[in-house]
Structure 1
Amino acid sequence: MKFSLLRFTNTALLAAVLILTLTGIYGLFWTLQGWLFDLHRLAGWSLIALIPWKTAISWRSLKRGLQPDFDRGVMILVSLLLALLTLLVIVLGVAWLWRLLPAEAWLRQTLISWHWMLALALLAPFALHAWRRWPRPAKPDLLSRRAALKMLGIGAVSVAGWWLAEQVAALKALSQAARRFTGSREANSFSGNDFPVTNGPGEGDQRIEIETWRLDVEARGKAAHSYTYQDLLDLPSEDVTATVDCTLGWYSTQVWKGIPLRDLIDSIEIQGEVIAVRLEAVSGYAQIFPLQEARQILLATHVGGETLEHPHGFPLRAVVPSRRGWFWVKWLARIDVIAV
C-alpha cells in the first residue's frame, strides 16, 4: 500500500487534537508544569500547519457533492461546521496571545475563556466526525520516507510558529500587563483585596454573620471540631506568597495569611488512612483534594495584611498554589477528612 496524504493528514490532526485536549484540560485544573502549556501551544501550531493539506482534502470531498444520506449529507455539514468553529478557536487563542482584540468578549467572558469553552464543546462533534470518517492509516503513512519528511516539516513549522508567537507575546507584555506561562495576564499583585473577583452564578450572594458562622471539621462523617472565627484567629498562622490564576485569563500574586490545613488535619484523631480532604463553601460548592495536595493548602483569613473582604471569601478561603482559581474555595464552612 502506498503513502496516502489523506490518511497521513487525518492521523496527524487526530494526534494534534489529542495533545491539545489533554494539555488543555490539564491547564484548566493545574498550574505546576509550565512545559505542558508550551506543548499545548506547539500542538496548536501543528494544527495550523496541517490546515492547507486538510483544506485540499476537504475541497476534493466537497466537489463530489452532497447525497441524501447520513455520511454524505449530515456528516458533511457537521464536518464543515466543525472546521469553521475550529478556526474560530484558533483565532480566539491567537488574538488573546497577541492582544489583538479587547480582552472581554461576549457574556462577560474573555477571549481565552471562549477559546477553551468552545474547544471543549467541539470534542463531541469531533469524536463523531472521527468515528464516521476515520481512514485507518497504513504503515507507509507513518513510517515511510515521505511521512518522515512531512512530519519534519510540520515540526519545523510548529516550532517556528510557537517561537514567533512567543516573541510577539513577550513584546506585547512589555507595554501591557505581564504574562504568566499559563497565558494569564497580571492583575494587581501584592495589593491586598484590590485584585479581580471571579464568582460563579449565585456565589457570594449569601452574607455571612460572623457571630454565628462556624467552620465544621468532620472525619469519616463524624463531627470532630467546630471553630469560630476567633478560634481560627487564635491558632498559629503562616504567611504564604501564592498566585491565584483564573481560567478567565488573569493572575494575581498575593501574600496570604492563615492556618495551614495540615494543622487542622493533624489535630484530630482519625480512624483509618486519610486519602483526601473535601472543602465546602456555605453555598454547597465544594472541591476534593488528595491528601498530599491538601497538606499544602492554606486556610486564609487575610490577604496583603488586610482582612479578607466578602467578595474574596471572608471569613475563610482556601489558597491552593497548585490549582487554578476555581479550586480556591471561598466562604469555607466545612472540611471533610476522607479516610478508609
Structure 2
Amino acid sequence: MPAAAWTRRAGRRTNLGLLVLLALAGVTGLLAFGVGTPLPSRVVAVAHGAAGLGLLLLVPWKSVVVRRSRARTRGRRDPAVAWALAGLTALTVATGVLHGVAGTTVGGVGVLQVHVAAGVATGLLVVLHAVGSRQRPRRTDASRRALLQTGGLAAGSLALWAGLEGVLRLIGAPGARRRATGSHERGSGDPAAMPVTQWFTDAVPDEPGRTLDLVAGGRTTALRVAALDRGDTVTAVLDCTGGWYAEQEWRGVRLDRLLAGTGLPPGGSVDVVSVTGYRRRLPLADAGSLLLATHCAGERLSAGHGAPVRLVAPGRRGYWWVKWVARVEVVDAPWWLQPPVPLQ
C-alpha cells in the first residue's frame, strides 16, 4: 500500500477514535451525575476514566495528522477552533486526573467543577469542529480491521486506567480511597466538617419555615417540623455531584410512616418540594427507604445542611436530597416524568 494512502487512512482512523472516545467520555460524564448505586456507578466511572485517558494514546498519531493538515491548508483555514479544542481537551483530562488523584480545590473552586466546565466547552467545540471538517461516514469505518483497532484502543484505555489506579493504591494517594462514583470522603460522622453545597440554581433561604405541608388523599395537613423527629434512623451516604461524600446517621421520620393511612394511589409518586421551589419526584415504592431528617449524627441540622428538615434518599446522588423541605405531595404522575437533573 502506498505510504500516502496509509497515512490518509491512519489519519481518518485517528480522528474517528478521538471522536468516539470524546463522545463516550461525554455520555458517561452525564450518567455519572445520575447514578448513585455502587455497581452501576463503578461501571460508569471506569468507562469515563478509561475514555479520558484513552485520548492520550492517540496523541502521537494526532500530532502527525495535525502537522500534515497544517501543511495542506496553510492560509486557507483558521486553526483557532482546532487549537482551542486541543487546549480544552488537555485541560479536561488534566483536571479529571487531578480530581481522581486528590480531589482538591483551587481558590475555593473544586477541580471537578473546572473539569465539568471544560468538558462541556470541549463537547461544544467537538461539534463545531466535526461540522467544519465535513467528514462523512464510510463503509470502511465498520470494517473488520477498524473493529479490531477499536478493540485494541478500548483495551489500551482500560489498561491505562487500571495502571493509574494501581499507582494510586501503591503510593497511598487520597484517590485510592474514593467512592465508586469517584467522590472523595469529606466529614463522615462529623456534620460540621461536611461541605455545605447546594444545586447551582439554589441558595440557603433566609427563613426556611417551621411547618411542612403534607398533601395526600385530597387533604393538606400542616405538620410542625418539631414533630417530625420520631426516632427513625438510617445510616446513609450523601454523595454530592461536587465530588465528595459523607456517611452519616440521619434521624427523623420514614416517609412511609408519615404517609400511612392517607390512601396512596397504586404506582404513584411523591413530590418533595423545598421552600426555595427546588423539587424532586420519587416513586412511592421507595417510601420505606426515604427519610425526612431533622438530625444528622445526633445533632440538629444546620441551615446549610437543610434545616429544619431535609430528604435523605439512600442510593441517589446528592441533588435528590431536597433541603429545606416545605411540601410533600402524593401525585399520580410517574416519577421519571421530570428532567433528569433539576432545571429550576
Tell me the TM-score normalized by structure 2.
0.83
Give the aligned residue type for 1:111: V
CA distance in 1, matches of 2:253, 2:114: 36
2:310 is equivalent to residue 317 of structure 1: yes
- Aligned in 2, Cα 1:276/1:117: closer, same or farther, shift over 3 Å? farther
Asked if 2 retains the 8 angstrom alpha-carbon contact of 1:177 and 1:186, the reply is: no
Q: For 1:257, which of 248, 251, 258 is the aligned residue? A: 251
Counterpart of 1:11 in structure 2 is: 16
- In structure 1, runs of 5+ residues without a counterpart are none
Tell whether 2:68 aligns with 1:60.
Answer: yes
Q: 1:219 to 1:150 in 2, by over 3 A?
A: same
Q: Which amino acid aligns with 2:214?
A: V
**Aligned match of 1:248:** 242
Distance 1:177 1:188 in 2: 17
How many residues matched? 324
More displaced 10-residue stretch of structure 1: 197-206 or 182-191: 197-206
Give the deviation of 1:66 after TM superposition. 4.8
Cα separation, 1, equivalents of 2:89 and 2:289: 38
1:92-114 CA deviation, whole Å, 9 max, x = no partner? Answer: 11122223xx81125x2211221
Residues 175/56 of structure 1: CA separation in 2 closer, same or farther (3 Å cut): closer
**Pairwise CA distance, 1:305:** 1.6
Partner of 1:122: 122
Correspondence for 1:26: 31
CA distance in 2, matches of 1:31, 1:196: 19
Q: 1:98 aligns with which of 83, 98, 101?
A: 101
Q: Does 1:167 align with 2:175?
A: no
Provide the C-alpha distance between the structure 2 equivalents of 1:302 and 1:177, rounded to a whole number of angstroms: 31
Which residue number corresponds to residue 109 of structure 2? 109
SS in 1 for 2:289: coil
Displacement, 1:294? Answer: 5.5
Residue pair 2:101, 2:173 contacting (<8 A) in 1 also? no
Give the conservation status (yes or no) of the 8 Å contact 1:297–1:318. yes
Give the Cα–Cα distance (whole angstroms) in 2 for the partners of residues 176 and 86 of structure 1: 22
Unpaired runs of 5+ residues, structure 2, are: 334-344
Match of 1:39 in 2: 47
CA distance in 2, matches of 1:263, 1:332: 17
Tell me if the contact between 1:10 and 1:134 (Cα under 8 Å) persists in the aligned partners.
Answer: no
Q: Please state how far the C-alpha of 1:315 moved relative to its aligned partner.
A: 1.2
User: Which residue in 1 is equivalent to 2:196?
Assistant: 197
Contact 2:168 2:175 in 1 (8 A): no
* In 1, Cα distance between equivalents of 2:173 and 2:88: 32
Establish whether residue 296 from structure 1 lines up as the match of residue 292 from structure 2: no
Letter in structure 1 aligned against 2:226: Q
User: How far does residue 174 in structure 1 lie from its aligned partner after superposition?
Assistant: 5.5
Cα 1:260/1:181, change in 2 over 3 Å:
same
Deviation, 1:263, is 3.0
**How far has the Cα of 1:67 moved from its partner?**
4.9
Distance apart, 1:207 and its partner CA: 3.3
How much has 1:247 moved relative to structure 2?
A: 2.2
Please state if 1:89 is matched with 2:92.
Answer: yes
* Whole-angstrom CA distance in 2 between matches of 1:264 and 1:66: 70
How far apart are the structure 1 equivalents of 2:271 and 2:156?
A: 45
Summarize the alignment of residues 122-201 of structure 1 with structure 2, pairs less than 5 Å apart.
122-145=122-145, 147-171=146-170, 173=172, 178-199=177-198, 200=200
Partner AA of 2:21 in structure 1? A
Which residue identity lines up with residue 279 of structure 2 in the other structure?
Answer: A
Which residue identity lines up with residue 138 of structure 1 in the other structure? R
CA contact (8 A) 2:85 2:125 kept: yes
Q: In structure 2, do the counterparts of structure 1 residues 110 and 173 end up closer, same or farther at CA, with 3 Å as the change threshold?
A: farther
Partner of residue 226, structure 1:
222
Question: Using the alignment, how far apart are the partners of 1:109 and 1:313 within structure 2?
Answer: 22
1:9-53 per-position Cα deviation (integer Å, ceiling 9, x unaligned): 222222212221221111112221122111111212222212222
Q: What's the offset of the Cα at 1:328? A: 1.2
Q: How far 1:335 sits from its partner (Å)?
A: 1.6
Secondary structure at 2:214's aligned position in 1? Answer: strand
Partners in 1 of 2:134 and 2:291 — Cα distance?
48
- Indicate the larger mover: 28-37 or 176-185: 176-185
Q: State the shift of 1:318 in Å.
A: 0.9
TM-score computed with the length of structure 1 as normaliser? 0.84
